[in-house]
Structure 1
Amino acid sequence: MAGRGSRLRPHSLTVPKPLIPVAGQPIVHRLVKDIVKVLHEPIDEIAFVLGDPAWFGDDVVSSLKDLAKSLGAKASIYRQDQPLGTGHAIMCAKESLSGPAVIAYADTLIRANFSLDPDADAVIWVKQVDKPEAFGVVKLNADNEIIELVEKPKEFVSDLAVIGIYYFKDVSVLKQELQHVLDNNIVNGGEYQINDGIKRMMASRKIFKTGQVDEWMDCGNKAVTVETNTRMLGFLKADGDEQMIATTVKSSNSKIIEPCFIGENVILNNATIGPNVSIGDHCIIENSTVTNSLIQTYTTIKNAVLTDAMIGNYVSYDGHFKTVSIGDYSVLE
């Protein structure tokens, strides 16, 4: 999670993208919890690969340690000082690369329920997609084993897209192959890639299987993050295992159309909220209608009709635009 999230600006200018909340929780918190659910196994350690300490500071580290502790695991913090690719990022955490492990990119969310294949040396999680030419996909043999990774194929290979989550029965094998990639300066697009380590494992006849997820939700830019928030709210309402509207919400002449997440100490006055809206703690919404939107904390919205909006922290907005993307500490009145 070392990247700067440039596609999600202005929101990622002040908050690291993996910590931007979706349906009331930071993206990386939801991702880690969902992976733990799928594994059905106790987790000993969660290693986080962060970027520059000036950006991923003590508050970020503290929140990640709390997350790991809540799951009965210890947190290990590593730094990737230069953006040298996924393979390089993984090797920044090489002290933790032993035994069974999951490796995941922290800008995606999943819904899944499957068992890991005990005969597999590794599992690459995939999702069936309509336009495989836009993704990296897996090629399977007659035994449904992955034998090749193909990036944005011009001719049909399969419709199973790689989503950026991997399981290794013994991740030290990947570590050995990635060390070879680094030592021999094997680069693609100017970066050291995890795929080059995986391809070396395949060449040594390691067995790779697929794990298919039911849902794969991106958080790469504003539009898809708002869409992901909408989808996640629907899943959470169906699950019924999270409190989605805080008991401290104060509502006057207002209506909430579920599903919605509304945080602590929110004030609603002459407002219609929902469906598919997330509102962070300490917000005030007055004389407004908000649908299909994501609003963070300490923000005031007045006299607005908003849909498909994404609004950051400490924003003051009084206006008539329907679809907006407003970063932290902005004032539009």
Structure 2
Amino acid sequence: MKIIVPMAGRGSRLRPHTLTVPKPLIPIAGKPIVHRLVEDIAGVINQEIEEIAFIIHRSFGAPVEKDLVAIAEKLGAKGTIYYQDEPLGTGHAIMCAKESMSGPIVVAYADTLFRADFTLDTTADSVIWVKQVDDPSAFGVVQLNDKKEIVDFVEKPKDFVSDLAIIGIYYFKSGETLRSELQYLLDNNIVKGGEYQLTDALENMKQKGMKFVPGKVDEWMDCGNKNVTVDTNNRMLNFLHADGHNMIATSATVENSEIIQPCYIGENVVLKNSTVGPNVSLGDNTTVENTTIKNSLVQTNSVIKNAKLDNAMIGNNARFDGNFTTISIGDYSVLE
């Protein structure tokens, strides 16, 4: 099995945090989004992962590429880097990794996390992972027949046709078939809004009689902007805590401070005269002093003093000294 991860977009809605770090590498409960994503996929498909192909923008740089290859290697897989330098759509992005599209593959967009407990139907030509939602009009949805097979894809339906939203993770029994269908779009310049769309290839495959089935997830967590990313961090901390994970590093120093679970406390974190939690992630080498902080995500090597923070997101190498209650600070920012 191979996993293909298109992630060339920087994540403009999450600025300033994505000015120096691509969105898929933003940590959630101490681990990059894309790392959690591929781990969870590996758990669901319950098969050996041969290769993980990451499709990035060339400007991400060598350190990012090294981190991504390391993520693949931690799962016992080969890590491969491909480039998409122009935003030409989902279909085009996947085709940037065409050399890796052989055998069974999973395509997963690296801006979402999930929790699921289902058995992958490897007899189907494709499995499209979906989540039941309250407002289907905001999503692309799938329509099922009485055999629970997918018979239609509808983008943001004005009238109700289904409440099963497509979350952006797909299984294909044959990577070669998907590659052929996407190549057809490119060769014939089949575009919508100037972009080559994966859904057009899916529609062609369905018209040829291929079997599509849904894979339902229990939880679907977005990382699109600051508020939803902080919320996703909160939810992930609760899931991990309920699963019995210890998320406090033994190298952390706690002086006259209280930690209210669930929290992630990274390596060499220092807490002084502070109350931390619930729902707080503190990255490695961060110092928190004379502060109350809850429902917040702080990355690495930052210093927070004399603060009362809630629903905050603070980047790497930041310094904050103040009395604000909600804030979003990018990398290398200083507020004193």
Question: What TM-score bracket applies, with the shorter chain setting the length?
Answer: over 0.9
Cα distance, 1:315 vs structure 2: 0.7
Task: Tell me which moved more, 114-123 or 246-255.
Answer: 114-123
**Which residue matches 1:284?**
287
Check if 1:50 corresponds to 2:17: no
Check if 1:5 corresponds to 2:11: yes
How do 1:93-108 residues align onto structure 2 when only pairs under 5 Å count? 93-108=97-112
Deviations 1:17-56 (A, max 9, x none): 000101000000000000000111111111111112x3x2
The equivalent position to 2:23 in structure 1, one of 8, 17, 24, is 17
Distance (whole Å) between structure 2 residues aligned to residue 331 and residue 229 of structure 1 = 23
Distance (whole Å) between structure 2 residues aligned to residue 10 and residue 288 of structure 1 = 23
Deviations 1:295-332 (A, max 9, x none): 00111101100000000011111111101001000011
Check if 1:26 corresponds to 2:29: no
How do 1:303-314 residues align onto structure 2 when only pairs under 5 Å count? 303-314=306-317
The equivalent position to 1:39 in structure 2, one of 13, 25, 45, is 45
The equivalent position to 2:118 in structure 1, one of 110, 114, 117, is 114
One-letter code aligned to 1:63: D
One-letter code aligned to 1:271: S
How do 1:195-274 residues align onto structure 2 when only pairs under 5 Å count? 195-240=199-244, 242-274=245-277
RMSD of the TM alignment (CA)? 0.8
Check if 1:92 corresponds to 2:83: no
Q: Identity across aligned pairs (percent)?
A: 65
How do 1:62-73 residues align onto structure 2 when only pairs under 5 Å count? 62-73=66-77
**Which residue matches 1:130?**
134
**Which residue matches 2:298?**
295
Check if 1:158 corresponds to 2:162: yes
Cα distance, 1:239 vs structure 2: 1.3
One-letter code aligned to 2:10: R
**Which residue matches 2:4?**
none
Task: Tell me which moved more, 286-295 or 186-195.
Answer: 186-195
One-letter code aligned to 1:32: V
Distance (whole Å) between structure 2 residues aligned to residue 65 and residue 50 of structure 1 = 12
How do 1:153-192 residues align onto structure 2 when only pairs under 5 Å count? 153-192=157-196
Distance (whole Å) between structure 2 residues aligned to residue 19 and residue 10 of structure 1 = 14
Q: Which runs of 5+ in 1 are unaligned?
A: none
Deviations 1:99-124 (A, max 9, x none): 10000000100111111123311000
**Which residue matches 2:64?**
60
> Alignment partner of 2:182: what SS?
helix
Cα distance, 1:69 vs structure 2: 1.2
One-letter code aligned to 1:300: V
Count of aligned pairs between the two proteins:
330
**Which residue matches 2:3?**
none
> Alignment partner of 1:13: what SS?
coil
TM-score (norm: length of structure 2):
0.97
> Alignment partner of 1:59: what SS?
helix
Cα distance, 1:149 vs structure 2: 0.8
One-letter code aligned to 2:100: S
> Alignment partner of 1:103: what SS?
strand
Distance (whole Å) between structure 1 residues aligned to residue 122 and residue 173 of structure 2 = 9
One-letter code aligned to 1:307: D
> Alignment partner of 1:226: what SS?
helix
Check if 1:326 corresponds to 2:317: no
Cα distance, 1:176 vs structure 2: 0.6
Deviations 1:162-194 (A, max 9, x none): 000000011211111110111111111221111
TM-score (norm: length of structure 1):
0.98
